[in-house]
Structure 1
Amino acid sequence: MPSCGITGMHFVVSTGTEKPDPELRKLIRSHVMLGKNRGKILPTRKRKPKEPELTSSNSDPSPPNASDLDEDAEARHLASSTTSHSLPAVVPHILGSGMSTICFADALEPGTIEVVLRLSSIAKKLLFPLEPCMFFDRRAENWIAPLARDPAYLHAMIFTSQFYFDALLTGKSFSISRRAMPHFLTTLKLLRERMADDNDQAKLSDSTAAAIMGLVGHAHLTGDFKTARHHMEGLYKIVILRGGVTTFKTNAKLLVEILRCDIGLSLHTGSKPIFFNNRSRDPFVPYPYLTPLVQLTNPSIPNYHRYSFMFLDDIDDDLAQAWRVISDFCTVINFAVNSQLRISTETFLDTMTSVVYRLLDMHFEIGSRDEAIRLGLLAFLCGVFLQWKHLGMSYAHFTSMLRNCLIRMASECISSELMVWLLMVGAVSVLDESDDGWLKPLLRVNIGLCAIEGWSEMQRLLKDFMWIGLVYDTPGMRVFNSIIAGPSRA
């Protein structure tokens, strides 16, 4: 029976010919309709005002679903949940953002927290290329609530948010600004004190891991890779002491961020990843069981695309299995986009973790077809799973490996169709304008050999391997048009 990865997938199964009992039918219906019966938005009905009365905080309703909240709504809910009593009388409009009503974990200058809100409002689209078809659960609980109880996390979120707007967004300098520096130093001080303390619960908490992750990302973006790796090793120890990656079931997004930092560092520097680097202590995560999701798309159509049959039987078995899993994932994502559905963060996490770490661990002869396919898959996944290029960072070591491999590829080792896919994937994921001198002529020749005349034909070929239009159609069309507009292919 296939394994269910880090988080598992749960299904309601009914066997036999008899109808399910009423309770089971009710359970099935509620499971199927999750997230669908939101109902229409009705106008507010006027009610007679009730007499003011004191309400215990214990009677407050449970938090609403995080996906239905904007940032200010999340903040207002958190603020109300920390108040011991509330009056259901007329309440004046909040001045400023909802964050202004929260009692934070440390004293702050007025308006300081606004930078966290600003980044939070764009973070999903900025950091997740698949954001339109992903569902982020428990966002308020996992990312907003700790601002009110963990000072190290609070200052880490402030300095990383400020760093983004001061340095990354402007592109002027990767140094810490005067506004961000006090929060950076406070984060370091508080984390050092926490690690020297005997409070294991605080040391191993989600908010501690998130604060350290902010230090990793900052060191990575400023080019201090030694410090970034040092912090990442600390994160790894926290994960292992907690019992491994499976202990992050309630905060899958945090684990996603931790592992993306690890993968990004490995691709940029060429060093081995810190996670899943010891088979006995830290074995690979099983591949996710995507078959039920794939069958939702169109069970009558085989998922493995036309050109895949040309080489999957002739390449390394582990590499072929990784290809099949990614192909299934692409099918699910494309269906989700077209159907306006969303995948869970857990599906994203399980696929990324199980596939990318295995590909990083594989080794083939330089210039071989297997190595070209391995690097092509990693390049494809960089644009799907990782965020570093969107933040202005490259994958220097990996990009150099891909470039050298594609240039050295012997034409007799690979079909023109596969070569077009590899070159296009490289062009839209990790390569840049400095590669145009060798990339475009090579791509132009192979496009001609495939008799491709227009973007629709190119798109069809790419999809016959694997392709996610949401991520790659726009840059892919731009690359293709630049080829067509170039020197004649005759």
Structure 2
Amino acid sequence: MHLSRLERIVQLRGGWNTFDNNETLRCQLFGVDLAGACRRDSRARFPMMPEALIQEAHSTNHSPSIGAYGISPFLASCMNLYIQDPLLLKAFHDLSIAINYVNRKSRRGEQWVNIKFFVFWIDAIVHGLVEQEFLDKSNVLQEFTRLGVLLFLLKIRRYCGQLGVSMGCSNAKLRSFVSRQRLLGFAVSTEKILLWALFMGLLESREKSDQDCYIKMMTEIAYEIGFWSWAETLAAAKKVVWIQDAFDAEVKCRDRFEVVLNGLIIWHLSKTHNED
């Protein structure tokens, strides 16, 4: 209701283009709209910032020597998994540039958390991913990736101080996938990406039952890959997409994860022994 009225006010004022000379107000309107879209995983009402401004910000802070996927060699090796998905390819491309920027700032001891960062880097990616569900059953990886990236980006928005950031819808959709979709039997590279997406869901979960749901699936994937510890599992997730400043302090449930994983390992070993 409130967003509908806000949209009407913008229309009566002459449309979105009338805010071209008022960047602060335009960012505020866009932020409110995008927060609502993320809360429902629905289409944003207002258009993205002018492409020229976004590209200018990206080109100013992108180092060609690093390359589009230089921040994650593992992720670069997995891009063929998304060859038919320009939406996700663009999201990863733009996200890699954003993380290059963060890493460069961090190495210099400079502050990277500011409104322009999440408006021109993070929000631009979020805007392209909301309401873009991959509903076909054959697109499990794609939808898992989309939800994982959204959770990652929304946490960055919150870390940067954006108010009204809700991840409940994306996390609920991810949990629903976990409860009804078989996630084993994929190639190792695919399973590592699924594992990373599950980490994003776990980091955002507050209820023990939700955490247990993620932990159960994560341990099964970790065991199938060949990980026998929390450290190996977390290291694999960090090789996909990670920002140390924002995520390291959020990592939780290590003890519970290891109890479940150790139980799974013992069960498989005893089963193998009995079969022999």
What interval of TM-score do these two structures reach, taking the shorter chain for normalisation?
0.7 to 0.9
- Preserved contact between residue 236 and residue 275 of structure 1 (Cα < 8 Å): no
After superposition, the C-alpha distances for 1:140-171 in whole angstroms (9 at most, x for unaligned) are xxxxxxxxxxxxxxxxxxxxxxxxxxxxxxxx
Query: What does residue 273 of structure 2 align with?
Result: none
Amino acid at match of 2:224: L
Query: What does residue 326 of structure 1 align with?
Result: 95
Q: Structure 1 residues 236 and 412 mapped into 2: Cα distance closer, same or farther (>3 Å)?
A: farther
Q: CA deviation at 1:302?
A: 6.0
Match of 1:263 among 34, 51, 63: 34
After superposition, the C-alpha distances for 1:384-426 in whole angstroms (9 at most, x for unaligned) are 1147999797444333222223442543456221121010011
SS in 1 for 2:242: coil
Tell me how many residue pairs correspond in the alignment.
254
Q: Structure 1 residues 466 and 332 mapped into 2: Cα distance closer, same or farther (>3 Å)?
A: same
Query: What does residue 381 of structure 1 align with?
Result: 153
1:290 aligns with 2:58: yes
- Preserved contact between residue 147 and residue 171 of structure 2 (Cα < 8 Å): no
Match of 1:305 among 66, 69, 72: 72
Q: CA deviation at 1:234?
A: 4.5
Q: CA deviation at 1:469?
A: 1.2
The structure whose residues are more often helix, as a share, is 2
TM (normalized to structure 2)?
Answer: 0.74
Q: Structure 1 residues 448 and 244 mapped into 2: Cα distance closer, same or farther (>3 Å)?
A: farther
Match of 1:337 among 91, 106, 129: 106
After superposition, the C-alpha distances for 1:426-458 in whole angstroms (9 at most, x for unaligned) are 112366433123211111122233444556544
CA distance in 2: counterparts of 1:394 and 1:388, whole angstroms: 14
Structure 2: runs of 5 or more not aligned? 266-276
CA distance in 2: counterparts of 1:234 and 1:397, whole angstroms: 26
CA distance in 1: counterparts of 2:14 and 2:232, whole angstroms: 49
What value does the CA root-mean-square deviation take over the aligned residues? 3.5
CA distance in 1: counterparts of 2:110 and 2:259, whole angstroms: 37
- Preserved contact between residue 88 and residue 146 of structure 2 (Cα < 8 Å): yes
After superposition, the C-alpha distances for 1:61-102 in whole angstroms (9 at most, x for unaligned) are xxxxxxxxxxxxxxxxxxxxxxxxxxxxxxxxxxxxxxxxxx
Q: How does 1:447-466 map to 2 (within 5 A)?
A: 447-452=222-227, 457-466=232-241
Query: What does residue 146 of structure 1 align with?
Result: none
Q: Structure 1 residues 449 and 462 mapped into 2: Cα distance closer, same or farther (>3 Å)?
A: same
Q: CA deviation at 1:381?
A: 0.7
- Preserved contact between residue 293 and residue 332 of structure 1 (Cα < 8 Å): yes
SS in 2 for 1:243: helix
Query: What does residue 411 of structure 1 align with?
Result: 184
Structure 1 range deviating more: 464-473 or 389-398 = 389-398
CA distance in 1: counterparts of 2:158 and 2:11, whole angstroms: 23
Query: What does residue 350 of structure 1 align with?
Result: 120
TM (normalized to structure 1)?
Answer: 0.45
After superposition, the C-alpha distances for 1:307-363 in whole angstroms (9 at most, x for unaligned) are 213431231022111112112212221332342213463343111332111112534
CA distance in 1: counterparts of 2:81 and 2:96, whole angstroms: 17
CA distance in 2: counterparts of 1:481 and 1:245, whole angstroms: 51
Query: What does residue 170 of structure 1 align with?
Result: none
Q: How does 1:217-228 map to 2 (within 5 A)?
A: 226=1, 228=2
Q: Which has the higher contact order (CA 8 A, sep 6+)?
A: 2
CA distance in 2: counterparts of 1:437 and 1:455, whole angstroms: 15
1:469 aligns with 2:221: no
SS in 2 for 1:465: coil
Match of 1:359 among 123, 126, 129: 129
Larger Rg: 1
1:233 aligns with 2:14: no
1:314 aligns with 2:81: yes
CA distance in 2: counterparts of 1:247 and 1:303, whole angstroms: 36
- Preserved contact between residue 203 and residue 250 of structure 2 (Cα < 8 Å): yes
Query: What does residue 484 of structure 1 align with?
Result: 258
Query: What does residue 150 of structure 1 align with?
Result: none
SS in 2 for 1:295: coil
CA distance in 2: counterparts of 1:443 and 1:239, whole angstroms: 50
Query: What does residue 421 of structure 1 align with?
Result: 196
SS in 1 for 2:70: coil
Q: How does 1:102-141 map to 2 (within 5 A)?
A: none
Amino acid at match of 1:359: L
Q: CA deviation at 1:237?
A: 3.5
CA distance in 2: counterparts of 1:346 and 1:469, whole angstroms: 20
Q: CA deviation at 1:274?
A: 1.3
Query: What does residue 92 of structure 1 align with?
Result: none
Amino acid at match of 1:261: V
Q: CA deviation at 1:472?
A: 0.9
% identical aligned pairs: 15
SS in 1 for 2:130: helix
